[in-house]
Structure formats: C-alpha cells, structure tokens
C-alpha cells in the first residue's frame, strides 16, 4: 500500500512516498481504508524530534528523554506520521462486534501514529467512532485530536455556564476546539491569536478576540474565571491579576516552574494553577460526534493536499499561514 514514510529526522524533505506492506487486522481490530488525515502539531514535532531543543519542548524537561524513547533518539521509531483520520472499514477481526465492513469512521491514534497511509488497523475499542453523517471525510478527519484534548482539559478547568474564559492559542488544533466547546458549555469566550487568524477565531464562536501581536491580554483590565493557555506562552505571575477570585490558570503545555506553582496554589491562595494532561477516551469522541450532528461543532478546512504532497503540506503548515485545518487526502477519497 501507499504511505508517507520517514526514516531520518529533519525538514519536510524527509517525507517520502513509498510502497509498504498492507496491515492485517488482529482478532479485536478493524482494518480501515484511510480517506483523509490532517497535518497536526504532533506530526511536525515527531518529524523533527531529534532537533527539538529543550526550550522548544513544551513540557517538563524530565519528560524529554521519555519522549525521545517514544519517537527515537537518532532515527525515528515511528516511521509513518498521522495521529487522526477518517475512513471506511474494509475488514474486521473475528472478535469485532461494534463495527462492520463499510462503516464510515473517524478516530485518533495518538502518539503511535500511522495515518499517513492507505490503510491502518486499530482495536475496535480504541478512540474510534462512526463518522458524523453531516461531515465529509476531510472535515471529520481533522476533529478528533483537538476535540478530545480540549474536552478533557476544559473539564479539568472546571468550566461552567456563564464563566468568562480566555483561550491563549485559540487558532490552533486544541484552541479552535476549546473555543467551540467553551461556547457549547455556555461560557463567554475570548480567543487570543495573531492578526491574520482573528476572523477565523470569531467564526468559531469567540465573542471577543485579542491579537497577541498588538495587545497584552494581561494588561487590558479584564478578568476571567478561566485562562486556558495552550502553548504556555504566558505565565501565572503575569496572568494572576487577570483572574477572578477562585479563577483557574490552566496549562496544556508547562514547565517545572508551573508544576511547583500548581502545588503551591493547591494549599495557598484562591487562584489556582492547573497543569493538565488530557485523559484521552472514546466517550469524548462519541460526545463530539453528537455535537457535530446537532450542528454545535464544526471543522474548518483551510487546504487539502493529496497524500503524495505531504511534504508540501508540512511546509505550508510550518509557514504559519493556515486558518483552519490542512488535510491530506488519499485516492479512495477522490473515488467516492
């Protein structure tokens, strides 16, 4: 089968179209014919993991060697990128009960990746769901990562109806999902992003937008129940005055200092720091499926590239221009 393979870490040039063996499903697995898979933050990170410096690594440094064990030290351990996808079930293992051949599905593979390929296998009880009928394969493929992570983290931020919520990094994979979910929960949402993305973030439902290249949100006199920083570009000391009493400073990316602040604010003060790792579970994917079918969650596509042009798609994402999702499509998609 056709796949985009990389055997060296480096620039987008390392992505090569190759013929590789077609996987066969185990007894509890489904074989999925992939129609579409987006280019996400994780794909760019994994592709060049050897060259990620400690300052570029957005997590506590002790986790860096663990991540290197996962992605490889000098050579990539995972050779096919792509952590989310939409496609059609072609075959099922003998113990599979939840799905059948012909089902249209979407799902999330996480760091094991493998979706930049014509076929993939995954357990039926993995992060997999029937694709919303109201979405195309391309739209659905770009949903799982951001939505699953944002849903889990917003719960850890104790989001409530009527809360004033600020999302720093609102135009990215997690942020664009967080804006939509926070609105669904009944929060008043402010999205922070760069100038060209302001309209995009508004179109996701944010009531207010702040351009971080022109305005420092910690200096505008507003205060929030929840400040959710996706990349951890702000700091608790700067954000503290922008939090209401009992406000939460929630970080999806954090260093050791923020972990100590989390411990400290647990015992002292009314404003809390929460450094959170998402609990990825299929229930959130089923929940998002329902929101999509109810017209309460959308997937905005910036550009599609055929799988063969994966390197070009990576360069486009790295240019920082994308407003919405960039998705790779496979031949099967064009056949439907």
Ligand X SMILES: NC(=O)c1ccc[n+]([C@@H]2O[C@H](COP(=O)([O-])OP(=O)(O)OC[C@H]3O[C@@H](n4cnc5c(N)ncnc54)[C@H](OP(=O)(O)O)[C@@H]3O)[C@@H](O)[C@H]2O)c1
Binding mask 277-316 for ligand X (x = CB under 6 A): xx--------------------------------------
Residue burial 259-268, b: 16+ Cβ < 10 Å; e: rest: eebbeebeee
Of all residues in the shown chain, the one whose CB is closest to ligand X is 172
Q: Which of 2, 197, 272, 289 binds ligand X (CB under 6 A)?
A: 197
Q: Which of 136, 203, 223, 253 binds ligand X (CB under 6 A)?
A: 253
CB of 162 to ligand X, least distance (A): 25
Give the Cα separation of 42 and 162 in Å (integer).
Answer: 33
Give the Cα separation of 307 and 139 in Å (integer).
Answer: 16
Q: Does 157 bind ligand X (CB under 6 A)?
A: no
Q: Does 193 bind ligand X (CB under 6 A)?
A: yes
Give the Cα separation of 88 and 32 in Å (integer).
Answer: 5
Q: Looking at 29-37, 179-187, 228-236, 308-316, which segment touches ligand X (CB under 6 A)?
A: 228-236
Q: Looking at 48-56, 72-80, 89-97, 173-181, which segment touches ligand X (CB under 6 A)?
A: 173-181
CB of 168 to ligand X, least distance (A): 5
Give the Cα separation of 134 and 140 in Å (integer).
Answer: 9
Q: C-alpha angle 14/19/20, rounded to 5°?
A: 95
Residue number, 96 or 226, with CB nearest to ligand X = 226
Q: Does 174 bind ligand X (CB under 6 A)?
A: yes
Give the Cα separation of 287 and 202 in Å (integer).
Answer: 23
Tokens coding 253: 């990316």
Residue for token pair 């059948």: 100
Segment 20-59, which members bind ligand X (CB under 6 A)? Answer: 40-41, 58-59
189 membership: H or E segment, kind and range: strand 188-193
CB of 102 to ligand X, least distance (A): 32
Q: Does 182 bind ligand X (CB under 6 A)?
A: no
CB of 320 to ligand X, least distance (A): 6
User: 234: buried, middle or exposed (CB in 10 Å: 19+, 13-18, 0-12)?
Assistant: buried
Residue number, 164 or 197, with CB nearest to ligand X = 197
Residue number, 48 or 58, with CB nearest to ligand X = 58
CB of 15 to ligand X, least distance (A): 18
CB of 271 to ligand X, least distance (A): 20
CB of 135 to ligand X, least distance (A): 20
Q: Does 192 bind ligand X (CB under 6 A)?
A: yes
Give the Cα separation of 5 and 79 in Å (integer).
Answer: 5
Q: Looking at 23-31, 94-102, 107-115, 169-177, which segment touches ligand X (CB under 6 A)?
A: 169-177
Pairing label, strands 325-329, 29-38: antiparallel
User: 211: buried, middle or exposed (CB in 10 Å: 19+, 13-18, 0-12)?
Assistant: middle
Q: Which of 14, 91, 231, 304 binds ligand X (CB under 6 A)?
A: 231
Q: Does 96 bind ligand X (CB under 6 A)?
A: no
Give the Cα separation of 280 and 151 in Å (integer).
Answer: 9
User: 24: buried, middle or exposed (CB in 10 Å: 19+, 13-18, 0-12)?
Assistant: exposed
Q: Does 156 bind ligand X (CB under 6 A)?
A: no
Residues near ligand X, by CB under 6 A = 40-41, 58-59, 149, 168-169, 171-175, 192-194, 197, 212, 230-231, 233, 252-253, 276-278, 320
């Amino acid at each position: 089968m056709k796949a985009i393979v990389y055997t060296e870490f480096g620039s987008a040039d390392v992505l090569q179209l190759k013929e590789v063996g077609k996987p066969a499903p185990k007894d509890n697995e489904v074989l999925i014919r992939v129609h579409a898979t987006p280019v996400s933050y994780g794909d760019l990170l994994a592709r060049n993991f050897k060259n990620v410096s400690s300052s570029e690594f957005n997590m506590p440094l002790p986790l860096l060697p663990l991540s290197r064990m996962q992605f490889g030290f000098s050579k990539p351990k995972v050779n096919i990128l792509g952590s989310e996808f939409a496609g059609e079930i072609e075959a099922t293992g003998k113990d599979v009960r939840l799905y059948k051949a012909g089902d249209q599905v979407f799902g999330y593979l996480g760091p094991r990746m493998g979706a930049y390929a014509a076929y993939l296998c995954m357990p039926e009880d993995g992060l997999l769901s029937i694709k919303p009928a109201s979405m195309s394969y391309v739209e659905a493929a770009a949903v799982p990562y951001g939505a699953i992570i944002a849903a889990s983290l917003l719960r850890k931020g104790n989001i409530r109806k009527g809360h004033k919520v600020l999302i720093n990094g609102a135009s990215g994979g997690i942020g664009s999902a967080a804006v939509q979910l926070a609105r669904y929960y009944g929060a008043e949402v402010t999205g922070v992003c760069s100038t060209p993305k302001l309209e995009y973030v508004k179109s996701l439902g944010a009531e207010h937008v702040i351009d971080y290249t022109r305005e420092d949100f910690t200096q505008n006199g507003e205060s929030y129940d929840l400040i959710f920083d996706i990349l951890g570009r702000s700091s608790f000391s700067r954000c503290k005055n922008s939090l209401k009493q009992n406000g939460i400073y929630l970080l999806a990316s954090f260093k050791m200092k923020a972990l100590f602040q989390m411990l400290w604010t647990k015992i002292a003060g009314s404003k809390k720091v929460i450094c959170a790792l998402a609990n990825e579970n299929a229930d959130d994917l089923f929940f998002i499926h329902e929101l999509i079918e109810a017209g309460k969650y959308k997937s905005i596509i910036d550009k599609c590239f055929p799988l063969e042009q994966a390197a070009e798609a990576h360069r486009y994402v790295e240019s920082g221009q994308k407003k919405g999702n960039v998705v790779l499509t496979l031949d099967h998609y064009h056949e439907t």
